[in-house]
Amino acid sequence: MMSIGYGIVLGLVYVVLITRFNLLVDWLNVNLVGVAVATAITEELAFSGFVAGYLEKIKKGNWTNLLMVGLMVAVIRLPILIFVYKLGVVNLAGVFLFAGASGVINAWIRVETGNVTGSIVARAMMNLAVLA
């Protein structure tokens, strides 16, 4: 239950940061919700669930584990950001830092609670805010 609480709170922070208080969007679009949730489940099971969990077994409580997960989350986005969206250096750096920070935060939720559910909720809310 604590994991879901963390996920909702941090998901709301993501939504506010991304939408910049412009909350008048179609939040109930089934296609957007489906893509946001499916992507969140996949990413968080892989990164927060498997990678963060495995690194935590190797060395418990090491903050570099969280940074490594954040770096992986950010790096995996580089090809689409560079070749599809053709972002410039400044925009690329901003998205890279935001993605990395969200990866660290979501991995922290998983390590702190021992459950990946909160990470999935936070990522789904962030994905929905980005897509809406």
Question: For residues 130 and 117, is the Cβ–Cβ distance under 8 A?
Answer: no
Question: For residues 117 and 2, is the Cβ–Cβ distance under 8 A?
Answer: no
Q: How many CB atoms within 10 Å of residue 130? A: 16
Q: How many CB atoms within 10 Å of residue 31? A: 8
What are the structure tokens assigned to 32, written together? 């957007």
The pLDDT, as a whole number, for residue 25 is: 66
For 79-108, what is each residue's pLDDT tens digit? 999 999 999 999 999 999 999 999 999 999
Question: For residues 131 and 33, is the Cβ–Cβ distance under 8 A?
Answer: no
Cα dihedral 52, 55, 68, 41 in deg (nearest 10)? -20
At 3, the amino acid letter reads S
Q: Give the span between the Cα atoms of 23 and 129, in whole angstroms.
A: 9
At 35, the amino acid letter reads V
Number of domains in the chain: 1
For 40-74, what is each residue's pLDDT tens digit? 999 999 999 999 999 999 998 889 999 999 999 99
Cut 0.85: pTM above it: yes
Q: Which of 8-12, 18-22, 83-87, 115-119 has the lowest mean pLDDT?
A: 18-22
What range does the domain containing 26 cover?
2-131
